[in-house]
Structure 1
Amino acid sequence: MPETTDITGGCQCGAVRYRVVALGRSSVCHCRMCQRAFGAFYAPLVIAHGLEWTSGERRLFASSNISQRGFCGDCGTPLSLENFDDDQVEIATGTLDDPEIAPPTVQINHRYACSFADGIGGLPEPDEAAIAENEAWNATVVSRQG
């Protein structure tokens, strides 16, 4: 019998956790609502099949007439995009315990993308001295994420 791997995730403080049976389409959405909800240039989302909220209670905000967004009321982490008219729920890819399992395969609402979004991957990386300085600073950080 094949070994099954739990697909799990949650918010940054650990108050809200979930488990998923399987993942569907993984995307990034450029619409203005997603930009605002995530405080970012786009929202990475993946369809969650068999989603179960395993601990804590997400808060919900009806961001439009067709959907609501789930988030942690304690730390503010965006968690989900949930349609009112069907069972489709998308979870924020970055909240997966292992986001590497859901690389985006499509861009949604690209016509609303920030003019600079496509070029982000081409930005230069810092030089070795700056990387070393940043790594030294990172080593002093004590994470309080759950």
Structure 2
Amino acid sequence: MIKGHCLCGNIQFETEADPRGPSMCHCGQCRRQSGGIWSSAYVADADLTITGDVTWFASSPGAKRGFCATCGSFLFWKALEEDTTSFALGAVAAPTGITLEKHIFVADKGDYYEIADGLPQNA
């Protein structure tokens, strides 16, 4: 069982499914919203239970981002035409049992850091 919550505890989520695609996103939107690199994994919508009042922001025509309006924690990313939801690995209670697989959107990464962990990097 994977469980997580926002900083204030207003929003909680859990899943019994094995998370897929654990990655670190370096895109400009994730960097601006999180203040750095956003790490996430995803599960099928049917396998994710969310409690609390998530505020959704339409960040692009094809996706939205879910956050807590009370504490500001950025918790979810959802492609509108997919049946999966990504959740923030930083919000998951340890031990997670999750291992990162890759870095994504590295062509848009900040110029103030290097990626040196040897994981695959997708432009």
Point out the more displaced range, 112-121 or 55-64. Answer: 112-121
Query: Is 1:27–1:44's contact at 8 Å kept on the other side of the alignment?
Result: yes
Query: Is 2:21–2:101's contact at 8 Å kept on the other side of the alignment?
Result: yes
Bigger proportion of residues as strand: 2
Question: Is structure 2 residue 22 aligned with structure 1 residue 21?
Answer: no
- Supply the distance in 2 between the matched residues of 1:99 and 1:37 (Cα, whole angstroms): 25
Match of 1:103 among 85, 99, 104: 99
The structure having more radius of gyration, on CA atoms, is 1
Query: How big is each residue's C-alpha offset from its partner over 1:68-106, in whole Å with a ceiling of 9 and x where there is no partner?
Result: 000011100000001101112110110111264223210
Query: How big is each residue's C-alpha offset from its partner over 1:27-65, in whole Å with a ceiling of 9 and x where there is no partner?
Result: 01111011111111x211111231111x31111000001
Could you tell me which residue of structure 1 aligns to residue 81 of structure 2?
A: 85
Q: Which runs of 5+ in 2 are unaligned?
A: 118-123
Count residues with an aligned counterpart: 114
Bigger proportion of residues as helix: 1
CA RMSD, aligned part only? 1.7
Paired residue type of 1:114? G
What TM-score comes out, normalization by structure 2 length? 0.84
Paired residue type of 2:103? Q
What is the 5 A alignment of 1:1-146?
A: 6-22=1-17, 23-40=19-36, 42-49=37-44, 50-53=47-50, 55-98=51-94, 100-118=96-114
- Supply the distance in 2 between the matched residues of 1:63 and 1:99 (Cα, whole angstroms): 31
Q: Which runs of 5+ in 1 are unaligned?
A: 1-5, 122-146
Could you tell me which residue of structure 1 aligns to residue 121 of structure 2?
A: none
- Supply the distance in 2 between the matched residues of 1:99 and 1:112 (Cα, whole angstroms): 30
Question: Moved runs in structure 1, 4+ residues, more than 6 A?
Answer: none
Paired residue type of 2:60? S
Change (3 A) 1:51 1:119: closer
Percent sequence identity over matched residues?
Answer: 27
